[in-house]
Amino acid sequence: MTKKKLNHLFITYDGLLDPLGGSQIIPYLKSISKPKRKIQVISFEKNKNIKLKKINSLRQDLLKSNIFWKYNKFSENYGQIGKIYDLIKMFFFSLFLVLFKNIQIIHCRSHIPATVGFFLKKILKIKLVFDFRGLWIEERFDYKIWNKKKILHKLYFKILKKLETKILNNSDYIVCLTDSVKPYLNNKLYKKVPIEVIPCCADYIFFKKNNYSKKEARKILKLKENISVIGYAGSINEVYLIQNMINFFALLSKKNKNLIFIFVTHQTDQIKKIIDNKTNKKIKKNIKIFKAERENIPLFLSSFDLMLCFIKKTFSRTAMSPTKMFESFAAGIPFICNKGIGDVDLILKQHKVGAVIDLKTRINSKKNFELYNQCKKIKPSYIIKKTKPFYDITFAQDKYNHIYKVLENDQK
């Protein structure tokens, strides 16, 4: 590392005050920052999170790690115009910091910030880290934000894919979440750009400190001691196959009458709507819904016998690294997922810490029930020991620090 003071800029369109910010952004920022490495951060925060006490508390905490945070309000209204306005704000705030804070590296989390980083690199010749995260453009269709039948949305797609190629080829380093997406990225590159795979790791210390025994957790949550628990923690949206998960639970319930399914999510109205569907009438009484902040997630995971997650299989899912899977590992909980999602198949097979279900076969097959029983026998201590070296947050922190050191040494 160079002896001079280093100043870098990190841009994220996600909020530091979001649950994702607390688990997947702030811990990495703190690891990257050093006494001689100052990190300027620009984020966009949701209105519901903008509370003076929370902001001041986080800002003071970040300052202790030599991180200087400037937030903007995330435009939640006015559709595409609001997003364009955010992009303009992002560009000019970033330009100001690059010009007046002697920025050497600009680190952009996902496509929108990377667009800003690309133009700043062209203008000011700084180093650019494109934290690719996922196939963001394709995800617009997965989440039904865009419609393939609309001419305007198809035009957005073509323009943004061309821009994506330019950003990738003008980056000094690319970070992606899975090995599965690397062939796509390499196919886009017409020059050599280093690519580092860094999955969505979990903070194993956080889960260890906040761990409960299964008996304690179930007592706190007012659950019966003699039950078995399947759990799901996270978003309820178009990408997650919630009804398929409920169908799988219904299959298992036929052979295990003491089985319950717990959903832990902020989107309680959405999950209630799905559960209230008449097809779920018979098992509705055995499904429970909880709402929890990040600090309480270890409590709920401690009550699970296993974590279940079925995800819609599309091309964009090759780039997906489910955070909930690594949090499940950190809590010592086996994980069941469907085939073809990012590197999940390889991870579960390699470490033997869960199972993969083929949703193309009958959900009520005997094999699926056997997989569930096999997973229940995996010991929590085994799961933590096997996965921690590869998916603890310290693994990701070391990778990011390596990237920064390489780019800083290039500037000597």
Tell me if 148 is assigned to some domain.
yes
Which position has the higher pLDDT, 348 or 5? Answer: 348
* CA distance linking residue 217 with residue 120, whole number of Å: 50
Q: Is the pLDDT of residue 412 over 80?
A: no
Q: Residue 387 falls within a domain, yes or no?
A: yes
pLDDT digits (tens, 9 = 90+) for 363-372: 666 788 888 8
Judgement on whether residues 148 and 290 belong to the same structural domain of the protein: no
Residues 255 and 320 in one domain: yes
- Whether 370 maps to a domain, the answer reads yes
pLDDT at 362 exceeding the cut of 80: no
Considering the domain architecture, whether residues 164 and 236 belong to the same structural domain is answered as: no
pLDDT at 364: 63
Note whether 221 and 102 are same-domain residues: no
Same domain, 247 and 376: yes
Residue of 371, 347, 377 whose CA lies nearest to 359 = 371
Copy the structure tokens of residue 254.
């036929």
In this structure, the answer to whether residues 188 and 53 fall within a common structural domain is: yes
Average pLDDT over residues 375-401: 95
Is 349 domain-assigned? yes
User: Does residue 411 lie in a domain region?
Assistant: no
Q: Who contacts 301 (Cβ-Cβ below 8 Å, separation ≥6)?
A: 207, 231, 233, 307, 327, 328, 331, 333
Structural domain of 30: 6-201+393-406
Count structural domains, the chain: 2
Non-local CB neighbours of 121 within 8 Å, separated by 6+ positions: 106, 127, 128, 170
Residue 192 belongs to domain with CATH number: 3.40.50.2000
- Same domain, yes or no, for 169 and 279? no
**Average pLDDT value over all residues in the chain:** 93
Q: State pLDDT tens for residues 85-109.
A: 999 999 999 999 999 999 999 999 9
> Residue 1 domain-assigned?
no
Give the H/E segment covering residue 121. helix 111-124
Query: Do 109 and 230 belong to one domain?
Result: no
Measured distance CA(81)–CA(357) in Å, rounded: 42
pLDDT single digits (tens) 252-275:
998 888 999 999 999 999 999 999
- For residue 108, the 8-state DSSP code is E
